[in-house]
């Protein structure tokens, strides 16, 4: 009879050890998987922002009436803004996402062409960051974004974008090239 009880006690111990081992593996693996996923999202979004920048540059160089459609524009994580509302940029294209991964040097700005990449530590949550990619060359040129109010909301998921050169707009002393961006 003692042998029968020993078998059950052994089985319970093995099951408990198995559950503990699986719990440890999952608790260590999920944060690692999330960091890798965030790194991939960052790289894919950086490529998308380069594509948006190239389309803007082409439209500006071709003159009034020039238009480019980008479809699909897929934002898997984070938010894409035209008008740059969260960081206060008036004429900027901005993507921002919260992450636990250190994707670039914190509190520094890295420039890649017209893109500015930044990573800011969250002041409230420990080991949490906000990564952003900005196209803000509009400050140094006579180009101004013309964006409808409904297109200033953050863009998520799959969308299409239309970029149109409106030509020279504005009154005397405030002439600029209008660049209209529509989310379709």
What residue segments make up the domains of the chain, in order of their start?
Answer: 2-183
Three-class secondary structure of residue 76 per DSSP: strand
Picking from 63, 12, 47, the residue whose alpha carbon sits closest to that of residue 117 is 47
Most confident of 2-16, 37-51, 123-137: 37-51
Q: Which residues neighbour 5 within 8 Å (Cβ) at sequence distance 6 or greater? A: none
Picking from 56, 47, 171, 62, the residue whose alpha carbon sits closest to that of residue 112 is 47
Evaluate if pTM is beyond 0.75.
yes
Count of helix runs (H) and strand runs (E) in the chain: 1, 8
* Per-residue pLDDT reduced to its tens digit, 130-148: 999 988 766 666 777 777 7
Q: Using CA atoms, how far apart are residues 42 and 110, in angstroms rounded to an integer?
A: 14
């Amino acid at each position: 009879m003692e042998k029968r009880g020993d078998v059950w006690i052994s089985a319970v111990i093995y099951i408990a050890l198995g559950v503990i081992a699986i719990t440890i593996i999952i608790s260590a693996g999920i944060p690692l998987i999330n960091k890798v996923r965030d790194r991939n999202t960052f790289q894919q979004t950086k490529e998308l922002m380069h594509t948006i920048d190239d389309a803007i540059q082409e439209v500006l160089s071709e003159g009034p009436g020039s238009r480019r459609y980008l479809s699909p524009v897929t934002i898997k994580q984070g938010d894409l803004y035209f008008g740059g509302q969260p960081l206060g940029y008036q004429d900027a294209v901005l993507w921002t996402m919260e992450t636990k991964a250190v994707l670039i040097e914190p509190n520094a700005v890295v420039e890649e062409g017209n893109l500015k990449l930044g990573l800011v530590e969250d002041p409230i949550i420990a080991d949490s960051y906000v990564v952003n990619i900005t196209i803000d060359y509009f400050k140094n040129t006579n180009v101004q974004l013309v964006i409808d109010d409904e297109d200033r909301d953050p863009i998520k998921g799959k969308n299409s974008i239309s970029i149109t050169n409106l030509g020279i707009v504005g009154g005397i002393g405030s002439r600029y090239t209008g660049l209209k961006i529509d989310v379709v």
